[in-house]
Amino acid sequence: MNLSSIKSLHVVRGLAALIVVVYHAKFVLWSGGQLYVSTKGLHSAFDYFLFAIDMLSSCGKQCVIIFFILSAFVIKHSFTVNHYSYKTFYKIRLMRIYLPFLFSLLIASVAFYASINYINHAIAADGVREYNTRLNIANDNFTLINAIKTL
């Protein structure tokens, strides 16, 4: 397999990962789908744009599968082509995945805490946006000890 084919797989993996992120964020950022149309309506080009993002992001579960299948292939290909030892492979994985993960976890924790406590105190709307109710529950249990346990 040539290098441009692998780059194309990385693009598809990246798009799948982006769709999964939007899929998870949409419950926090907007109600989505038919509920959005019935409560907000589609009155402008921006409304249609938001609705299109909602519809495109509704395949988050399928994109997780695509991401993991392509990731397994790319990892196996990289391991075979570069002739890594297991030690070198895991060292590279640590630097590429876990350090950015810890950094993004720190940013997400700060954003979560700020959005719940300073930006939008009334983020939960009972019966409409169930993920927001879960955010309030998570906020009630948000302590340093629980964050360390999560790691």
Q: What residues does each domain of the chain span?
A: 1-83, 84-151
Average pLDDT for 125-143: 66
DSSP category for residue 126:
T
How many other C-beta atoms are found inside a 10 Å radius of the C-beta of residue 5? 10
What is the C-alpha separation between 131 and 115, in angstroms, rounded? 14
- In the predicted model, what is the mean pLDDT of residues 118-145? 67
For the residues 6-32, what does the mean pLDDT come to?
Answer: 79
CB 51 within 8 A of CB 36: yes
pTM: 0.57
Listed in order, strand segments (DSSP E) in 64-144 are: none
Q: How confident is the model at residue 19 (pLDDT cuts 50, 70, 90)?
A: confident
CA separation for the pair 100, 96 (Å, rounded): 7
